[in-house]
Structure formats: C-alpha cells, structure tokens
Amino acid sequence: MAGIDEVARLAGVSTATVSRALSGRGYVSDATRVKVAQAAQDLDYVVSSNASSLASGRTRNVGVVVPSLNHWFFASVIEGAESALLRQGYDLTLYNLTGGGEERKSVFDHFLLRQRVDAVIAIGLELTEAEVSSLHAMGKPLIGVGGAIAGVFSLTMDDVAVARLATEHLLSLGHTRIAHIGGGKEFDLDFHLPSNRRIGYEGALRDVGIEPDPGLFRPADFTLPGGYEAAKQLLGNPHNRPTAIVASSDEMAIGSVLAARDLGLHVPHDVSIVGIDDHQLSGFFGLTTVAQFPRRQGEQAVEALMEYLEPGKDAPASAGVPLPYELIVRSSTARPPQ
C-alpha cells in the first residue's frame, strides 16, 4: 500500500511527475517515465482509485444495467463488455434489475448518481425519459445494447432483416406454409424486437406473393418451454400444419424441435425449424439459425464509449457500424415433405 509520495521519493521526482508519468497525461521525459515506472513496480504501487477519482472527476468505472443475468444474451454481452473494459483499465459495476420497480428506482436514484461511474451501458432495457435525462444531466454518456432507447445511441440489430433472412432461407427451400413463433405483446414494451421480427417474416412472405396467415403465428415468451408449447399447437393442428417454423429465438426453436419429436415428426424431414441467436446449445441440436454476436456487441459498446471518455485515444471508431448477423445452416432445415 505504498503511496504516490513514496514512489516520488524513490524515483527522485515530485508526486506531480509521478502522476503524469503513470497516467500518461502531460509531458514527461522518457527517462523519468521509465524511472517512475520502475519505482512504482518496486513498491507494488497501485493508485488509489478513490483519491484519483476525487481529484480528477474520472472514475474509470462504467455501470452496466441489465434486466437479468441468467440469460444467454445478457450474460454474453456483459462478458464482452467486461473484457473490453478490463483491457482499457476500467472496472464494470453491475446493476441487475431483476427485482423490479423498487430496485430499479433505487439504482437510478442513488447508485448511478453517486459519481461511481463515468458512463452507463444499458442492456436489453428501455429506459424511461426520466432515467435517461437524469443520467444526461449528470453528463454521463449512456449507450444501449439490444434495444433502442429513444434519443440514445444504441447498438441494435436490424431485426427486420434478420427475421427476413431466416424466412427467405425457408422460402428458398420451397416452403410456403411457414409459421412464426414470436414474442408476445409484453415483450414489445421494452424493445420492439418481437414486432420487428414479425415484420421481417411477413415481409419476406409478401415479397414472394404469400399473404401471412395469422393462424400460423403464435406468441411465446422466448424460453424453451414457451417455444415447445407454441410449436405443439402449431404442429398439432389437423388442418393447416406448417411445413416450417421461424422462431424468434434459438431457445424457442429448440423447444420447437423437441415438440416436433414428441409429436413423432421428424426434423427436418417433416418440418423445418430455424431460430435466431446462435445460442450455445444450437450446434448440439443441429439448429439452423441466424447468428448474432452478443460478446462482440458488448465490446463494441465499450469501444463506442471510449470515444466519449478518452477522446484522442486509440479510437476504434466502431460506433455506427451496423451489427453483423449471419445465417448458419445446420440440420434442422430442408426441402418440404415430398
């Protein structure tokens, strides 16, 4: 727990110089920079982040707000953000809003405003105007991932195009009775992904002259059991059984695969199923899917933030680049029966 003054003494310079040498701002000759670095190392010196933050106004810490941790997408984005932040010497403090209203209010009213963070990343969350403006008023950059926030720079996939791509894959195989398992209305509140994906699905159908059949749409909750239920209904219908399903998430798609099996239907011989995500289990289930890359999204969010936070640093300038997605064809899709 050596202090900056001990380092200064050992290096034979002033504390001001030590600060400059170690932080990299301001002029320091190469010679002293080396001397200081050596002294710091010898003493196992590590800056006190509190003292540093108090004096400089920068905390080198970013807050990450998520609706839940136990979810592949959120966890992956956080992992990506964490490792990018670590590389930049930043800490990540996590605010999980699973608890609901009270918790959320307390996070915004007390925690994020304590000068603890330089910026915040909101994942899969639609913030209220009040929340956004209170952060804004504090001068804290805010960036959204996986869900557009009004008036805030957000990394968000082109959900319409993604669902369209999945649907086009099935159309190109010759399917015409294609069902869709999407999110229910309750998921549309927080980000419009469900409707956007439905729009993409319907758009692809209409483009080839097929009018979407409302009977071939089922809402579900993005979980595997939810997808299972929905697919059971779709595939068990005696009159209008689809030959293919586009599910809005891989977990729902996997649920659909299991539902098909339980009905004695063979995937992809009797029914083709495509998901969206490229979840870690999708390979195992042979699921054809449109991959998104959440780890990368976390990294990209951090890169974008760094441009605000460290102007003139090695700016990766990745902001504004549209998020990539990619069709991955496995064994859950094929030409329709006969």
Binding site for DNA (CB under 7 A): 3-5, 12-20, 22-23, 25-29, 31-33, 45, 47-48, 51-52, 54-58
Closest CA to 260 of 222, 219, 227: 227
Count other Cβ atoms within 10 Å, centred on residue 283.
12
Give yes or no for residue 23 binding its own copies (CB under 8 A): no
> Of 7, 142, 224, 235, which lies in the binding site for its own copies, with binding defined by CB under 8 A?
224
**Please, which residue, 103 or 326, has the CB nearer to its own copies?**
103
From its own copies, DNA, none, interface partner of 187 (C-beta below 5 to 8 A by class): none
Give yes or no for residue 69 binding its own copies (CB under 8 A): yes
Residue 88 CA to residue 303 CA, distance in Å, equals: 10
CA distances from 222 to 178, 194, 232, 282 (A): 19, 10, 15, 15
- How many residues of this chain bind its own copies (CB under 8 A)? 49
**Please, which residue, 81 or 306, has the CB nearer to DNA?**
306
Rg (CA), the chain: 25
Give yes or no for residue 261 binding its own copies (CB under 8 A): yes
Is the link from the previous residue into 268 a cis peptide, with omega within 30 of 0? yes
Residue 255: alpha-carbon gap to chain centroid: 22
Phi, psi (deg, nearest 5) at residue 291: -75, 140
**Please, which residue, 68 or 318, has the CB nearer to its own copies?**
68
Min dist CB 308 to DNA, Å, is 16
Residue found by looking up tokens 């409302």 in the block: 214
Min dist CB 313 to its own copies, Å, is 18
From DNA, its own copies, none, interface partner of 318 (C-beta below 5 to 8 A by class): none
- Residue 237, both tokens: 């219908």
**Please, which residue, 139 or 264, has the CB nearer to DNA?**
139
